[in-house]
Structure 1
Amino acid sequence: MITMDRTGFKAALVAAAEAVVASKDVLTRADQAIGDGDHGIGMARGFRAFADALAKLDDAGASACLQAGGKALMMTGGGASGAIFGTFYTASGNALEAEAEPDPTALAAAFAAGLQAVKDRGRAKAGDKTMIDAAEPAIAALAQQQGALPAALEAMAAAARSGMEATRDMVATTGKARALGERSLGHPDPGAMTFTIFCEALARGLR
């Protein structure tokens, strides 16, 4: 198992957060199709705070970075999405050993704990057309990887995108999109898009 040094992982997390910020308009348009159109604004604000929180940390490991970023996101992202994504990253950081350098196995276990915290908080499950539909297959793919973390995160990102694309064929059963019923078909879930953008940028940052 090959680990990634903490400096490289922190920089990749910042780059991933900034990728979500840069995707504000894309996420806004996606949310306008099935929601109230504020997802992109909230996520841009929250992930900007995520990146800023990490910039203030000196020589911090993965656990501290995820906790700090998650807490900042939860405080600033607003709405249900801010709470959900903030919960995911905070719980993921809590699940990592404080001084552990990330490897695929440890990171997959941490993200699995984060996802479970999201499920416990929102009572959603796979198939409900939420970020879970991207996160669950992504984390499963990461857990199957061995070797270098960059390649493992590439597999995670690919699985996240497949999961996100699959939400186009799902009827929303939670949140504001639930009121649309079958009219939500054909549109990807904005939360799943956000998770995918983050994963893809994280993988790019560690290449």
Structure 2
Amino acid sequence: MDTGDFRAWVRESSRLITEQAGELTELDAAIGDGDHGINLRRGFQAAVEMLDDAEANTPGTVLTTVGRGLISKTGGASGPLYGTAFRQAGKSLGDVTDVDAARLGGALEAAFNGIQQLGAAREGDKTILDALGPAVTAYQVAVEKGGDLAAATRAAAEAADRGRHETGPMLARKGRASYLGERSIGHEDPGATSTALILNALATVAAGEAS
């Protein structure tokens, strides 16, 4: 994947987030502040605009630019979390202009580690990590088995989808939802859901199917 592909990933993520903003907000209304879809839509739209104005000429600078945009323009907890994820992923890529499957896997792992460190959460806490963690693992397994970027990113997206569905019966242990205690059970986590959308966007671009 080159710089153009990473720009396409951001645009496709913004498109999916905008398309599903209402659903994300409904999920968040049940166990959070009811603004996840609204905030993340604003953040990604701002990130796309920043990319249009920025001289981001490597995949790494594309992702770090997006990270800055999400941190500065996305309200709530999702801005710092997603912003950190994209910035850490971008930093891990360095100055390379073409990203292979192994290097992209390292970037996804860096994103996971960044969120984990900032949010002091772990898989099973009913957060973003419950989609991103399984996605990183599935991606790495696919690469180890000889899968190319398209196969590995599709495996990651499918694992993220499963992960976000599995947050439904979980008890929230972090974030606003944790204040609800057992009342958080039965609702899918909005952050895990938006993470799945972002990873589906990545798979779409890696397969050459983005519009």
- State the TM-score, normalizing by the size of structure 1: 0.93
After TM superposition, give the deviation of residue 151 of structure 1 in Å: 2.0
| Aligned equivalent of 1:128 | 125
Correspondence 1:17 to 2:48:
no
C-alpha distance in 2 between matches for 1:13 and 1:196:
14
C-alpha distance in 1 between matches for 2:8 and 2:183:
40
C-alpha distance in 1 between matches for 2:112 and 2:201:
19
| Aligned equivalent of 2:170 | 170
How well do the aligned residues superpose, as a CA RMSD in angstroms? 1.5
77, 80, 83: which one aligns with 1:83: 80
Deviates more, 1:193-202 or 1:15-24: 15-24
Correspondence 1:42 to 2:58:
no
Unaligned runs of 5+ in 2: none
- State the TM-score, normalizing by the size of structure 2: 0.91
Q: Is 2:2–2:97's contact at 8 Å kept on the other side of the alignment?
A: no
C-alpha distance in 2 between matches for 1:9 and 1:178:
34
After TM superposition, give the deviation of residue 205 of structure 1 in Å: 2.5
C-alpha distance in 1 between matches for 2:56 and 2:129:
31
1:14-51 CA-partner distances (Å, limit 9, x unpaired): 21222112211010001011111011111111111122
3-state SS of 1:99 partner: coil
Q: How does 1:74-153 map to 2 (within 5 A)?
A: 74-144=71-141, 145=143, 146-153=146-153
Structure 1 segments of 4+ aligned residues over 6 angstroms from their partners: none
Query: May I ask how many residue pairs the two structures share in their alignment?
Result: 204
Work out the percentage of aligned pairs sharing the same amino acid. Answer: 37
Unaligned runs of 5+ in 1: none
| Aligned equivalent of 1:187 | 187
